[in-house]
Chain A
Amino acid sequence: MDLELYKNQLRDIYLVSNTPSFLYETMRKSNIITNYLAKFDKATLFHEFSQRVEKPIVDVADIAILYALLIALSFKKDEDIKGFFKYVSEHIKFEWFSTIANYYLSDKTNSDIFTFEITPPSKIEYGEQQNIKVTQS
């Protein structure tokens, strides 16, 4: 997965988003999500997200890419995805990650059952690097 090609475009969507709903809808409609990221299966998207979220964020595009991966996962309707979004909703309080996860969770077309296993860090606070271990069951 080479998101470097798209990082400027994703960064600009993030920069001009006034609301989480605009960010969510604009990214869901972008070619990067619907054409490029849609080609990857959920395991690859999870892996990329978990790898990136463990690294220190030094570029605003890194945040935009994390949002893009999260939103790309929102297209996957498998049951185990819901566990991941539930975890994000409850534990990642940075900006709009939790809000966007709640968009997925409140979508009634998604299943109520999940089997995804997540090993959370002991504590996440503002100002700390956020580490999330994600494993697929």
Chain B
Amino acid sequence: MAPLIISQFHQESYVLKLQTSEQNDIENMQFRTLLNSELLASPIIETEYSLARFKGQLTPIYNCHGLTFASRRTWIYQSQELEKILRDDKYIEIKVEKDVLPGDVITYADETGITHSGIVIQVDLPKTDGDLVSIMVLSKWGRHKEVIHNANYSPYSTGIKKYWRINHGFRIV
């Protein structure tokens, strides 16, 4: 269902049945409404982050964590829910940047918890000793658009970055 565009203060939200692989419920909220002005606005954020690539249209349906962990279907916005997902889905931390691969997950955290997440889409290893690993990420910035950006180039990049890879392992029967 496409977002309903309205001109008055109104909220239409839904909770999806969403669970971790351990069948624990994940608190979430899907929003379907946005204000006309959101479509008409030309956010200065796109000018401020001119090296990032803003993809498609904005949508209130999902946030970054919904993109990363819930197939672009909803908002996950509580840090404890994200920690539950990382634990239940058996993500392991990739501690060395050069070991990160496309498809891995990046999280950003500050003193309040996890503030942002995304999916790694490209890793460029340094060509010389002085260079840094360059990691490109696909994420979504709040109610705004999906964004392709360097891991160190976003409103959340002052936070602590961690990289994760899902590893369900084997269950031998």
Contact = CB atoms under 8 A, between A and B. Distances in A.
A33 to B, nearest CB: 16
A58 B35 contact: yes
B141 A15 contact: yes
A60 B38 CA distance: 6
B113 A21 contact: yes
A18 B10 contact: no
A126 B11 contact: yes
Interface string B68-88: 000000010111000000000
Nearest to A55: B9
B124 interface: no
Contacts of B75: 18
B43 A15 contact: yes
Interface of B: 7-13, 34-38, 41, 43-45, 48, 58, 63-65, 75, 77-79, 110-117, 140-144, 155-156
Contacts of B141: 15-16, 18
A127 to B, nearest CB: 5
A129 B6 CA distance: 13
A61 B41 CA distance: 10
Given A21-B79, A57-B35, A58-B8, A15 B143 contact: yes
Contacts of A56: 8-9
B115 A18 contact: yes
Interface in A36-84: 56-61, 63
A8 B44 contact: yes
A67 B141 CA distance: 18
B122 to A, nearest CB: 22
Contacts of A18: 63-65, 75, 77, 115-117, 140-142, 156
A67 B144 CA distance: 17
B156 A22 contact: yes
Q: Report, nearest first, the 6 A-B pairs whose CB atoms are least far apart.
A: A57-B9, A21-B112, A16-B141, A16-B142, A59-B37, A12-B45
A32 B143 CA distance: 21
Contacts of B63: 18-19
Nearest to B141: A16
Given A56-B8, A126-B10, A19 B37 contact: no
Given A25-B112, A127-B11, A60 B64 contact: no
Contacts of B140: 18
A95 B11 contact: yes
Contacts of B34: 60
